[in-house]
Structure 1
Protein backbone atom coordinates (compact mmCIF):
# COMPACT_ATOMS: atom_id res chain seq x y z
CA UNK A 1 0.00 0.00 0.00
CA UNK A 2 1.25 3.50 -0.85
CA UNK A 3 0.29 6.70 0.95
CA UNK A 4 1.25 10.24 0.03
CA UNK A 5 1.64 12.56 3.05
CA UNK A 6 1.65 16.32 2.67
CA UNK A 7 1.35 19.39 4.85
CA UNK A 8 1.07 23.15 4.67
CA UNK A 9 -0.49 23.78 1.25
CA UNK A 10 -1.59 27.22 2.50
CA UNK A 11 -3.98 27.92 -0.39
CA UNK A 12 -1.44 27.64 -3.20
CA UNK A 13 -3.25 26.47 -6.33
CA UNK A 14 0.11 26.18 -8.09
CA UNK A 15 1.49 23.68 -5.57
CA UNK A 16 -1.86 21.94 -5.19
CA UNK A 17 -1.66 21.09 -8.90
CA UNK A 18 1.88 19.76 -8.34
CA UNK A 19 0.68 17.73 -5.35
CA UNK A 20 -2.16 16.22 -7.38
CA UNK A 21 0.27 15.28 -10.14
CA UNK A 22 2.60 13.62 -7.61
CA UNK A 23 -0.36 11.80 -6.03
CA UNK A 24 -1.59 10.51 -9.39
CA UNK A 25 1.88 9.41 -10.53
CA UNK A 26 2.73 7.73 -7.22
CA UNK A 27 -0.06 5.18 -7.32
CA UNK A 28 -0.95 6.11 -3.74
CA UNK A 29 -4.32 4.95 -2.44
CA UNK A 30 -4.58 7.71 0.17
CA UNK A 31 -3.59 11.35 0.43
CA UNK A 32 -2.85 12.13 4.07
CA UNK A 33 -3.00 15.86 4.76
CA UNK A 34 -1.45 17.24 7.93
CA UNK A 35 -3.24 20.59 8.02
CA UNK A 36 -2.95 24.21 6.94
CA UNK A 37 -4.81 23.67 3.71
CA UNK A 38 -6.31 27.00 2.61
CA UNK A 39 -5.12 29.98 4.65
CA UNK A 40 -1.52 31.25 4.59
CA UNK A 41 -1.45 32.47 8.19
CA UNK A 42 -0.31 35.84 9.51
CA UNK A 43 3.37 34.83 9.83
CA UNK A 44 3.78 33.56 6.26
CA UNK A 45 4.09 35.39 2.99
CA UNK A 46 1.50 34.58 0.36
CA UNK A 47 2.47 31.38 -1.43
CA UNK A 48 2.79 31.16 -5.21
CA UNK A 49 -0.62 31.50 -6.92
CA UNK A 50 -2.48 31.91 -3.65
CA UNK A 51 -6.03 30.94 -4.53
CA UNK A 52 -7.96 29.19 -1.74
CA UNK A 53 -11.09 28.76 -3.91
CA UNK A 54 -9.21 26.85 -6.61
CA UNK A 55 -7.29 24.93 -3.94
CA UNK A 56 -10.43 23.72 -2.17
CA UNK A 57 -11.99 22.75 -5.48
CA UNK A 58 -8.93 20.64 -6.30
CA UNK A 59 -8.92 19.10 -2.82
CA UNK A 60 -12.63 18.27 -3.05
CA UNK A 61 -11.98 16.41 -6.31
CA UNK A 62 -9.86 13.97 -4.23
CA UNK A 63 -12.20 13.75 -1.22
CA UNK A 64 -12.61 9.95 -1.36
CA UNK A 65 -8.85 9.51 -0.97
CA UNK A 66 -8.14 12.07 1.77
CA UNK A 67 -7.41 11.56 5.46
CA UNK A 68 -6.85 14.93 7.14
CA UNK A 69 -6.03 16.52 10.49
CA UNK A 70 -6.47 20.18 11.44
CA UNK A 71 -3.62 22.65 11.25
CA UNK A 72 -3.31 25.86 13.24
CA UNK A 73 -4.50 27.87 10.20
CA UNK A 74 -7.57 25.66 9.55
CA UNK A 75 -11.01 26.62 10.89
CA UNK A 76 -14.71 25.87 10.82
CA UNK A 77 -15.06 28.26 7.89
CA UNK A 78 -12.66 26.08 5.88
CA UNK A 79 -14.69 23.01 6.79
CA UNK A 80 -17.76 24.67 5.27
CA UNK A 81 -16.19 24.53 1.77
CA UNK A 82 -14.25 21.27 2.08
CA UNK A 83 -16.16 18.04 1.47
CA UNK A 84 -14.07 15.85 3.79
CA UNK A 85 -13.41 16.18 7.54
CA UNK A 86 -10.50 18.46 8.50
CA UNK A 87 -11.10 19.41 12.15
CA UNK A 88 -9.63 16.46 14.06
CA UNK A 89 -6.51 17.43 16.01
CA UNK A 90 -5.13 13.86 15.90
CA UNK A 91 -5.82 10.72 13.92
CA UNK A 92 -4.43 7.28 14.76
CA UNK A 93 -3.53 5.02 11.87
CA UNK A 94 -2.78 1.32 12.18
CA UNK A 95 -1.17 -0.51 9.28
CA UNK A 96 -1.14 -4.31 9.33
CA UNK A 97 2.21 -4.34 7.55
CA UNK A 98 3.70 -2.56 10.57
CA UNK A 99 2.46 -5.20 12.99
CA UNK A 100 -0.25 -2.98 14.44
CA UNK A 101 2.16 -0.26 15.53
CA UNK A 102 0.63 3.15 16.13
CA UNK A 103 1.02 5.97 13.64
CA UNK A 104 -0.16 9.29 15.08
CA UNK A 105 -1.13 11.93 12.55
CA UNK A 106 -1.19 15.53 13.75
CA UNK A 107 -0.29 18.96 12.47
CA UNK A 108 2.33 19.45 15.18
CA UNK A 109 1.25 22.67 16.85
CA UNK A 110 -0.40 20.98 19.83
CA UNK A 111 1.00 18.83 22.62
CA UNK A 112 2.58 15.59 21.39
CA UNK A 113 0.47 12.51 22.02
CA UNK A 114 1.89 9.85 24.35
CA UNK A 115 4.43 7.84 22.39
CA UNK A 116 6.18 4.56 23.15
CA UNK A 117 9.02 2.75 21.42
CA UNK A 118 8.02 1.70 17.92
CA UNK A 119 5.38 4.42 17.51
CA UNK A 120 5.50 6.80 14.56
CA UNK A 121 4.61 10.49 14.85
CA UNK A 122 3.77 12.12 11.52
CA UNK A 123 3.32 15.88 11.66
CA UNK A 124 3.76 19.08 9.67
CA UNK A 125 3.71 22.67 10.96
CA UNK A 126 7.45 23.47 10.93
CA UNK A 127 7.71 23.47 7.11
CA UNK A 128 11.00 21.56 7.50
CA UNK A 129 11.19 17.90 6.45
CA UNK A 130 12.26 15.32 9.04
CA UNK A 131 12.69 11.55 8.89
CA UNK A 132 14.45 10.26 11.98
CA UNK A 133 14.37 7.87 14.89
CA UNK A 134 14.93 9.04 18.47
CA UNK A 135 15.04 6.54 21.33
CA UNK A 136 12.94 4.02 19.40
CA UNK A 137 10.27 6.53 18.33
CA UNK A 138 10.05 7.52 14.66
CA UNK A 139 9.38 11.11 13.58
CA UNK A 140 8.29 12.10 10.07
CA UNK A 141 7.51 15.57 8.77
CA UNK A 142 6.94 15.89 5.02
CA UNK A 143 7.93 19.58 5.07
CA UNK A 144 5.75 22.11 3.28
CA UNK A 145 4.12 21.79 -0.11
CA UNK A 146 4.12 25.57 -0.71
CA UNK A 147 6.11 27.57 1.86
CA UNK A 148 9.24 25.54 2.68
CA UNK A 149 11.74 26.66 5.29
CA UNK A 150 15.28 25.70 6.19
CA UNK A 151 16.55 26.04 2.60
CA UNK A 152 14.49 23.05 1.47
CA UNK A 153 12.39 23.07 -1.68
CA UNK A 154 8.67 22.28 -1.50
CA UNK A 155 8.39 18.64 -0.36
CA UNK A 156 5.99 15.80 0.39
CA UNK A 157 6.43 12.24 1.64
CA UNK A 158 5.62 8.82 0.21
CA UNK A 159 5.05 5.84 2.50
CA UNK A 160 5.44 2.37 1.04
CA UNK A 161 6.32 -0.95 2.63
CA UNK A 162 7.59 0.43 5.92
CA UNK A 163 9.65 3.23 4.38
CA UNK A 164 8.96 6.96 4.41
CA UNK A 165 10.63 8.86 1.55
CA UNK A 166 10.65 12.65 1.46
CA UNK A 167 10.73 13.98 -2.09
CA UNK A 168 10.45 17.25 -3.93
CA UNK A 169 8.37 17.94 -7.02
CA UNK A 170 11.38 17.44 -9.30
CA UNK A 171 11.59 13.81 -8.16
CA UNK A 172 14.63 14.23 -5.90
CA UNK A 173 14.79 12.23 -2.67
CA UNK A 174 15.82 14.29 0.36
CA UNK A 175 15.62 11.66 3.10
CA UNK A 176 14.29 8.20 3.85
CA UNK A 177 13.35 6.36 7.03
CA UNK A 178 12.56 2.67 7.35
CA UNK A 179 10.48 1.79 10.39
Structure 2
Protein backbone atom coordinates (compact mmCIF):
# COMPACT_ATOMS: atom_id res chain seq x y z
CA UNK A 1 0.00 0.00 0.00
CA UNK A 2 1.08 3.56 -0.72
CA UNK A 3 -0.98 5.69 1.65
CA UNK A 4 -1.34 9.43 1.19
CA UNK A 5 -2.69 11.50 4.07
CA UNK A 6 -5.06 14.32 3.17
CA UNK A 7 -5.77 17.00 5.73
CA UNK A 8 -7.32 20.46 5.68
CA UNK A 9 -8.50 23.30 7.85
CA UNK A 10 -6.21 22.73 10.79
CA UNK A 11 -6.63 26.40 11.75
CA UNK A 12 -3.47 26.26 13.86
CA UNK A 13 -4.45 23.08 15.74
CA UNK A 14 -2.61 19.85 15.00
CA UNK A 15 -4.30 17.24 17.14
CA UNK A 16 -2.36 14.21 18.43
CA UNK A 17 -5.11 12.09 16.86
CA UNK A 18 -4.29 13.60 13.46
CA UNK A 19 -0.62 12.78 13.87
CA UNK A 20 -1.52 9.21 14.81
CA UNK A 21 -3.91 8.88 11.86
CA UNK A 22 -1.16 10.03 9.48
CA UNK A 23 1.52 7.69 10.82
CA UNK A 24 2.85 5.49 8.04
CA UNK A 25 1.75 7.62 5.07
CA UNK A 26 4.34 8.33 2.38
CA UNK A 27 3.07 11.84 1.54
CA UNK A 28 0.76 14.40 3.15
CA UNK A 29 -1.44 16.86 1.28
CA UNK A 30 -2.73 19.88 3.21
CA UNK A 31 -5.61 21.69 1.49
CA UNK A 32 -5.25 25.05 3.22
CA UNK A 33 -6.30 27.03 6.25
CA UNK A 34 -3.09 25.87 7.87
CA UNK A 35 -3.40 28.55 10.51
CA UNK A 36 0.07 28.58 12.11
CA UNK A 37 3.67 28.41 10.89
CA UNK A 38 4.53 25.25 12.86
CA UNK A 39 1.82 22.99 11.35
CA UNK A 40 3.54 22.01 8.08
CA UNK A 41 6.97 21.42 9.69
CA UNK A 42 5.34 19.14 12.28
CA UNK A 43 3.57 17.20 9.51
CA UNK A 44 6.87 16.97 7.63
CA UNK A 45 8.28 14.96 10.55
CA UNK A 46 5.93 12.19 9.36
CA UNK A 47 6.29 12.45 5.57
CA UNK A 48 6.93 14.98 2.81
CA UNK A 49 4.17 17.61 2.67
CA UNK A 50 2.57 19.49 -0.18
CA UNK A 51 0.47 22.33 1.21
CA UNK A 52 -1.48 25.27 -0.13
CA UNK A 53 -2.69 28.45 1.53
CA UNK A 54 -6.31 28.88 2.48
CA UNK A 55 -8.34 32.02 3.06
CA UNK A 56 -7.12 32.43 6.67
CA UNK A 57 -3.46 31.99 5.74
CA UNK A 58 -2.65 35.69 5.33
CA UNK A 59 0.40 36.23 7.55
CA UNK A 60 3.93 36.49 6.15
CA UNK A 61 4.81 32.82 6.80
CA UNK A 62 1.91 31.73 4.55
CA UNK A 63 3.49 33.43 1.54
CA UNK A 64 5.55 30.26 1.09
CA UNK A 65 2.42 28.36 0.03
CA UNK A 66 0.65 28.72 -3.32
CA UNK A 67 -3.12 29.06 -3.62
CA UNK A 68 -3.32 25.98 -5.86
CA UNK A 69 -1.01 23.19 -6.86
CA UNK A 70 -1.11 20.38 -9.39
CA UNK A 71 1.26 17.47 -8.83
CA UNK A 72 1.85 13.91 -9.90
CA UNK A 73 1.98 11.25 -7.18
CA UNK A 74 2.57 7.66 -8.20
CA UNK A 75 1.18 8.30 -11.66
CA UNK A 76 -1.92 10.09 -10.36
CA UNK A 77 -2.49 13.72 -11.26
CA UNK A 78 -3.74 15.69 -8.24
CA UNK A 79 -5.05 19.26 -8.22
CA UNK A 80 -5.46 20.95 -4.86
CA UNK A 81 -7.19 24.22 -3.99
CA UNK A 82 -8.82 25.44 -0.81
CA UNK A 83 -12.35 26.27 -1.98
CA UNK A 84 -13.83 24.07 -4.70
CA UNK A 85 -16.01 26.99 -5.85
CA UNK A 86 -12.79 28.64 -7.07
CA UNK A 87 -11.86 25.74 -9.37
CA UNK A 88 -10.55 27.41 -12.52
CA UNK A 89 -9.59 24.40 -14.60
CA UNK A 90 -11.52 21.57 -16.19
CA UNK A 91 -10.15 18.53 -14.34
CA UNK A 92 -11.27 16.00 -16.95
CA UNK A 93 -9.80 18.02 -19.83
CA UNK A 94 -6.55 18.49 -17.90
CA UNK A 95 -6.28 14.74 -17.13
CA UNK A 96 -6.64 15.29 -13.38
CA UNK A 97 -7.49 12.15 -11.40
CA UNK A 98 -8.18 13.80 -8.04
CA UNK A 99 -9.30 17.27 -6.97
CA UNK A 100 -8.83 18.05 -3.28
CA UNK A 101 -10.50 21.03 -1.63
CA UNK A 102 -11.29 21.87 1.98
CA UNK A 103 -12.89 25.11 3.19
CA UNK A 104 -16.43 23.88 3.97
CA UNK A 105 -15.25 21.63 6.84
CA UNK A 106 -17.66 18.97 5.47
CA UNK A 107 -15.99 15.66 4.62
CA UNK A 108 -17.19 13.99 1.46
CA UNK A 109 -16.35 12.76 -1.99
CA UNK A 110 -17.95 12.31 -5.38
CA UNK A 111 -16.97 11.30 -8.88
CA UNK A 112 -17.73 13.26 -12.03
CA UNK A 113 -16.38 12.67 -15.53
CA UNK A 114 -13.84 10.18 -14.19
CA UNK A 115 -12.48 12.64 -11.59
CA UNK A 116 -12.64 12.08 -7.84
CA UNK A 117 -13.49 15.23 -5.88
CA UNK A 118 -12.52 14.99 -2.21
CA UNK A 119 -13.00 17.17 0.83
CA UNK A 120 -11.15 15.57 3.77
CA UNK A 121 -13.13 17.68 6.25
CA UNK A 122 -11.62 19.79 8.98
CA UNK A 123 -8.90 18.46 11.27
CA UNK A 124 -8.76 21.62 13.41
CA UNK A 125 -11.15 23.10 15.94
CA UNK A 126 -14.67 21.74 15.73
CA UNK A 127 -17.05 23.98 13.80
CA UNK A 128 -20.70 23.75 14.72
CA UNK A 129 -21.64 20.05 14.81
CA UNK A 130 -19.45 19.01 11.88
CA UNK A 131 -17.15 16.03 12.36
CA UNK A 132 -13.41 16.46 12.85
CA UNK A 133 -11.74 14.34 10.17
CA UNK A 134 -8.96 13.75 7.71
CA UNK A 135 -8.67 11.21 4.90
CA UNK A 136 -6.14 8.64 3.75
CA UNK A 137 -6.01 7.06 0.35
CA UNK A 138 -4.06 4.16 -1.13
CA UNK A 139 -2.47 5.54 -4.29
CA UNK A 140 -1.35 2.07 -5.37
CA UNK A 141 -4.97 0.83 -5.59
CA UNK A 142 -6.52 0.52 -9.06
CA UNK A 143 -9.28 2.95 -8.04
CA UNK A 144 -8.73 5.87 -5.67
CA UNK A 145 -11.07 5.53 -2.71
CA UNK A 146 -10.77 7.77 0.36
CA UNK A 147 -11.02 6.45 3.89
CA UNK A 148 -12.13 9.08 6.39
CA UNK A 149 -10.67 8.98 9.87
CA UNK A 150 -12.56 10.58 12.74
CA UNK A 151 -10.22 12.45 15.06
CA UNK A 152 -12.41 13.04 18.12
The TM-score, its normalising length taken from structure 1, stands at: 0.68
Q: CA deviation at 1:148?
A: 4.7
Q: Which has the higher contact order (CA 8 A, sep 6+)?
A: 2
CA distance in 1, matches of 2:84, 2:67: 9
Provide, for residues 123-170 of structure 1, a one-character-per-residue CA deviation record: whole Å limited to 9, x for no partner: 101100111112432210001012455743200000113321112126
1:114 matched to 2:90: yes
- State the partner residue of 1:105: 80
Taking structure 1 as reference, are residues 128 and 62 closer, same or farther at Cα in structure 2, changes over 3 Å only?
closer
Structure 2 residue 123 is the aligned partner of structure 1 residue 138: no
* Structure 2 unaligned blocks of 5 or more: none
Match of 2:54 among 64, 68, 71: 71
Deviation per CA, 1:17-64: give whole Å up to 9, x if none: 32112212xx101121111111xxxxxxxxxxxxx4xxx435423336
Runs of 4+ in 1 over 6 A off after TM superposition: none
Number of corresponding residues: 142
CA 109–135 in structure 1, closer or farther in 2 if over 3 Å, else same: closer
Normalising by the residue count of structure 2, what TM-score does the alignment of the two structures yield?
A: 0.78
CA RMSD of aligned residues (A): 2.5
Q: What are the within-5 Å matches in structure 2 for residues 21-170 of structure 1?
A: 21-24=20-23, 27-38=24-35, 52=36, 56-57=37-38, 59-63=40-44, 65-79=48-62, 85=64, 87-96=65-74, 100-108=75-83, 111-112=86-87, 113-116=89-92, 119-148=97-126, 151-160=129-138, 161=141, 162-169=144-151
